[in-house]
Amino acid sequence: MKRAKSTCVAAQSLPDAPGLILHDLSKDYGTQRAIETLGCEIRGGEFTVLLGPSGCGKSTLLRMIAGFETPTGGRITLGGRDITALPSSQRDIAMVFQNYALFPHLDVAGNITFGLNVRRVPRAEQRQRLDEVARMMGLDALLRRKPAQLSGGQQQRVALARAVISGRPVLLMDEPLSNLDAKLRAEMRAEIRALQRRLGLTLIYVTHDQVEAMTMADRIILLNAGRIEQSGTPEQIYSRPATPFAARFIGSPPMNLVPAEALGIAAPPGTSAGLRPEDIEIAETGLPARLVSHEYLGADLLITVAAGSARLILRRPARLGLPPGPELCLRWAPDALHRFAPQPGPASLPTPDPASDPASGPACAAEPAPQPAS
Amino acid sequence: MTFATPTSATAAVSAPVSATTGAWPGLDRVLISVGAWMLGLIWIAPLLYAAWTAFHPAAYETRFDLLAPLSLENFPLAWKQAPFARYFLNTVILVTSILSVQLVVGTLAAFAFARLRFAGRNLLFGLVLVQMMVMPDILLVENYRTMRMLGLVDTIAAIGLPYMASGFGIFLLRQTFMTIPRELDEAARLEGVSLLGLIWRVYVPLAKPTYLAFGLVSVSAHWNDFIWPLIVTNSVSSRPLTVGLSIFAAPDSGVQWSVINAATLMTSAPLLIGFLLFQRQFVQSFMRAGIK
């Protein structure tokens, strides 16, 4: 059942944060195209992650939404209102920057209330909102400190508080955790996620870290070279990657992607086959392979094997240990196999080299791999 | 005993070695110290002489005697013989008005050169840099003609006007503004500050060390400036300290050295005291303004 509104925690909770729609947005820098014409919807109240390798255009996209960059073409609407030409301050958007962008000459209180001050909010109200936000973010004791006297995590909290106090329903974050150490990063991930839920913010979060994306996002928009590779929930992108790029980018170690013929799968030439490391089993029968190396991760063991000319990495619980001999057979469930049609353009996948094919192998059953159902 | 022998042997062997290699660095340091002291003494000698004569009766002007009677008579004497109060006032007005206009003009221009995009920006900035390379003395005649055209000859404004748009100040502030992270700028804009608000709330506070360093340079330069004020002023009401002092000290005025030196000390005292008081901050702000 739906809870009554009055039990919601934060006084500032936004009933329904508006969503964003990008219509045919593109961006050129001189003759260089940074963002190919793209369109997508960012739903209100959701945690959306723009994920991609560096230089994929994710920050450019965020900066266009914030109004720091002017799109070359297309429109941005926020809750049905066209904001493409509006200055940043009128877009109802708050932002947390990668380096936090705290004003070094102002103390924590001054930083948090900077915007309220600029917008001439009455002192008493400033005071009250500051108290509320400071308590929520655990900054009560630090209000008189200067940013230089704070730790990275505290600075991060101040930056968040400054964004939250504005009461704006849309929050943009540009790689906000990249300057923190691993432990703090995990803490802040949970904290940011909880904050977004609690306030019902529309949060757009830029990162190149797939772990951040997988753990925090309601929806991931995966970008590569200025275009959208795939968008969907983390589960969708992980279990049904739409492109080889999506398959390789998400998951650690990444999905094994080899020419279909190397796995003995009948497919049109140029088709590549993908298998997640955890979906490959060592079995009595199946595809013959040879052990190459292994890596011990504590809970798991990563085993690299050569099947014909293809290299595959498989993951199995470390307690099962290594297989007894160097020769082994591989199996996988039919629906674990992903097929990708040949990509136009230069083939980046290694082609099988029959000369190096080691014909030897244990007596695996005649039929190498179970054929997928489709 | 058995342990002591080998250690004393190695000490004996190593001693002459360290003596020969150690001699040169030692000599180096001595030479450097002597040189530094010499330069320092040469630099401060006139000041010491001025201080000596100013605090002693005229009889000891050229005679050094450690036991000579101290006296403060020279100061009121100097103060009465020329309108130094007026000169002080003129100089203070001059220096503060130059500095305040320089700061306003410099801040706005520097911000434009650092962060705004407009046609001809680089050309204009090039011209600002050219201003730094032109010796002000070259322009004396031209400046005088301009001041006469404006009807400003013999006013304090005429002394200050040619220096109010300081290329050096614009350059220094622009360099500082450019080091301010763009994210701060964007964060402030997101909150809705106006352009002037942005300069006032973000850029100016972050450039404080540069303002302090530039302020010091500007004040001391214009406090001590002599040639241009000498040319463009010719009355008590506009003359700054330097010109007033030189007229007071002219040989044909027949004033004693002890009185002249008392006047000299008086006129340079504010700067000296200021520097001694704020020495640490000045040096620090120079370091920060320069290195960043």
Query: What distance in Å separates the CA atoms of residue B267 and residue B86, rounded to the nearest whole number?
Result: 12
Q: Do B197 and A118 touch (CB under 8 A)?
A: yes
Extended beta strands in B124-166, E state: none
Hey, is the C-beta of A293 within 8 angstroms of any chain B C-beta?
A: no
Per-residue HEC secondary structure of A107-151 comes to CHHHHHCHHHHHCCCCHHHHHHHHHHHHHHHCCHHHCCCCHHHCC
Give pLDDT, residue A344.
Answer: 61
Q: Which of B115, B180, B189, B190 to mutate to test the interface with A (most CBs of A within 10 A)?
A: B190
Query: What distance in Å separates the CA atoms of residue A65 and residue B242, rounded to the nearest whole number?
Result: 60
Measured between alpha carbons, how far apart are the two ends of chain B, in Å? 60
Most confident of A1-5, A356-360, B167-171: B167-171
Query: What distance in Å separates the CA atoms of residue B278 and residue B56, rounded to the nearest whole number?
Result: 29
Nearest to B187 by CA among A168, A20, A192, A100: A100
Q: Which residues of B touch A94 (CB under 8 A)?
A: 190
- In 3-state terms, what secondary structure has residue B166? coil
Q: Do A101 and B206 touch (CB under 8 A)?
A: no
Centre a 10 Å sphere on the Cβ of residue B153 and count the other Cβ atoms it contains. Answer: 17
Segment A38-42 shows an average pLDDT of 92
Q: Do B191 and A89 touch (CB under 8 A)?
A: yes
Give pLDDT, residue A8.
Answer: 35
Query: Is pLDDT of B288 > 80?
Result: no
For A291-314, write each residue's pLDDT tens digit. Answer: 999 999 999 999 999 988 889 999
CA angle at A17 for the pair A118 and A109, rounded to the nearest 5°: 30
Give pLDDT, residue A350.
Answer: 40
CA nearest to A63 within chain B? B186
Q: Residue A315: what are its φ and ψ, rounded to 5°?
A: -115, 130
Query: What distance in Å separates the CA atoms of residue A354 and residue A263, rounded to the nearest whole number?
Result: 13
Give pLDDT, residue A354.
Answer: 37
Hey, is the C-beta of B65 within 8 angstroms of any chain A C-beta?
A: no
For A65-85, write each residue's pLDDT tens digit. Answer: 999 999 999 999 999 899 999
Rounded percentage of chain A residues whose pLDDT exceeds 90: 68
For A157-202, write each residue's pLDDT tens digit. Answer: 999 999 999 999 999 999 999 888 988 999 999 999 999 999 999 9
Are A237 and A244 a contacting pair, CB within 8 Å? Answer: no
Query: What distance in Å separates the CA atoms of residue A64 and residue A88, rounded to the nearest whole number?
Result: 10
Radius of gyration of chain B (CA): 27
For A50-64, write each residue's pLDDT tens digit. Answer: 999 998 999 999 999
Give pLDDT, residue B290.
Answer: 55
Give pLDDT, residue A162.
Answer: 95
Name all contacts of A314-318 with Cβ < 8 Å and 24+ positions apart.
Answer: A314/A256, A314/A277, A314/A278, A314/A280, A314/A281, A314/A282, A315/A253, A315/A277, A315/A278, A315/A280, A316/A278, A316/A281, A316/A282
CA nearest to A65 within chain B? B190
Q: Which of B182, B186, B191 to mutate to test the interface with A (most CBs of A within 10 A)?
A: B191
Interhelix angle B257-291/B208-224, rounded to 10 degrees, is: 150
Cβ neighbours of residue A332 under 8 Å, at least 6 residues apart?
A: A275, A279, A280, A281, A369, A370
Reading the block at residue A367, the tokens are 């039929």
Beta strands A170-174 and A256-259 are: unpaired
Q: CA dist A184 to A154, A181, B220, Å?
A: 10, 6, 51
Q: CA dist A29 to A33, A69, A99, Å?
A: 6, 11, 24
Q: Which residues of A touch B192 (CB under 8 A)?
A: 89-90, 115, 118-119
Cβ neighbours of residue A175 under 8 Å, at least 6 residues apart?
A: A59, A98, A206, A207, A208
For B35-92, write each residue's pLDDT tens digit. Answer: 999 999 999 998 888 888 888 887 777 777 777 788 888 888 888 888 999 999 999 9
CA nearest to B186 within chain A? A68
Give pLDDT, residue A230.
Answer: 94
Domain boundaries defined on chain B: 83-291
Q: Do B206 and A105 touch (CB under 8 A)?
A: yes
Segment A262-281 shows an average pLDDT of 88
Give pLDDT, residue A71.
Answer: 94
Segment A98-122 shows an average pLDDT of 94
Nearest to A89 among B184, B190, B205 (CB): B190
Q: Do A99 and B183 touch (CB under 8 A)?
A: yes
Query: What distance in Å separates the CA atoms of residue B74 and residue B259, rounded to the nearest whole number?
Result: 5
Q: Under CATH, what is the fold of the domain A253-345? A: OB fold (Dihydrolipoamide Acetyltransferase, E2P) (2.40.50)
Radius of gyration of chain A (CA): 25
Homologous superfamily (CATH) of A10-245 is P-loop containing nucleotide triphosphate hydrolases (3.40.50.300)
Q: Do B191 and A98 touch (CB under 8 A)?
A: no
Give pLDDT, residue A324.
Answer: 84
Mean pLDDT of chain A: 86
Q: Where in chain A is the domain with CATH 2.40.50.140?
A: 253-345
Cβ neighbours of residue A325 under 8 Å, at least 6 residues apart?
A: A291, A362
Hey, is the C-beta of A110 within 8 angstroms of any chain B C-beta?
A: no
Give pLDDT, residue B276.
Answer: 85
Strand partners for A288 = A329
**Chain A: nearest CA to B181, how far in angstroms?**
8
For A311-338, write each residue's pLDDT tens digit. Answer: 999 999 999 888 888 889 999 998 899 9
Give pLDDT, residue B253.
Answer: 65
B 188-227 residues with CB < 8 A to A: 188-193, 197, 201-202, 205-206, 208
Segment A109-120 shows an average pLDDT of 95
Query: What distance in Å separates the CA atoms of residue A240 and residue A226, rounded to the nearest whole number?
Result: 22
For B182-223, write each residue's pLDDT tens digit. Answer: 999 999 999 999 999 999 999 999 999 899 889 988 998 999
Give pLDDT, residue B142.
Answer: 92
Instruction: State the DSSP code for B256.
Output: -
Segment A210-226 shows an average pLDDT of 94
Q: Do A101 and B186 touch (CB under 8 A)?
A: yes
Q: Which residues of A touch B189 (CB under 8 A)?
A: 87-89
For B238-281, write each residue's pLDDT tens digit. Answer: 999 999 988 888 776 666 788 888 888 888 888 888 888 888 87
Give pLDDT, residue B104.
Answer: 97
Q: Under CATH, what is the fold of the domain B83-291? A: MetI-like fold (1.10.3720)
Give pLDDT, residue B60.
Answer: 77
For A228-248, write each residue's pLDDT tens digit. Answer: 999 999 999 999 999 999 999
CA nearest to B206 within chain A? A105
Give pLDDT, residue B96.
Answer: 96
Reading the block at residue A277, the tokens are 């490391």
Per-residue HEC secondary structure of chain A comes to CCCCHHHCCCCCCCCCCCCEEEEEEEEEECCEEEEEEEEEEECCCCEEEEECCCCCCHHHHHHHHHCCCCCCEEEEEECCEECCCCCHHHCCEEEECCCCCCCCCCCHHHHHCHHHHHCCCCHHHHHHHHHHHHHHHCCHHHCCCCHHHCCHHHHHHHHHHHHHHCCCCEEEEECCCCCCCHHHHHHHHHHHHHHHHHHCCEEEEEECCHHHHHHHCCEEEEEECCEEEEEECHHHHHHCCCCHHHHHHCCCCCCEEEEHHHHCCCCCCCCEEEECHHHEEEECCCEEEEEEEEEECCCEEEEEEEECCEEEEEEEEHHHCCCCCCEEEEEECHHHCEEECCCCCCCCCCCCCHHHCCCCCCCCCCCCCCCCCC
Centre a 10 Å sphere on the Cβ of residue A1 and count the other Cβ atoms it contains. Answer: 3
Mean pLDDT of chain B: 85
Reading the block at residue B7, the tokens are 């250690």
Query: Is pLDDT of A103 > 90?
Result: yes
How far, in whole angstroms, is CA A24 from its chain's centroid? 22
Give pLDDT, residue A356.
Answer: 37
Please name the residue that has the structure tokens 């009766």.
B57
Rounded percentage of chain B residues whose pLDDT exceeds 90: 53
Reported ipTM: 0.77
Hey, is the C-beta of A88 within 8 angstroms of any chain B C-beta?
A: yes
Nearest to A118 among B184, B192, B208 (CB): B192
Are A40 and A232 a contacting pair, CB within 8 Å? Answer: no
CA nearest to A96 within chain B? B187
Hey, is the C-beta of B86 within 8 angstroms of any chain A C-beta?
A: no
Segment B231-244 shows an average pLDDT of 92
pLDDT class of A353 with cuts at 50, 70, 90: very low
**Chain B: nearest CA to A103, how far in angstroms?**
7
Q: Which residues of B touch A119 (CB under 8 A)?
A: 191-192
Give pLDDT, residue B256.
Answer: 79
Q: Do B206 and A119 touch (CB under 8 A)?
A: no
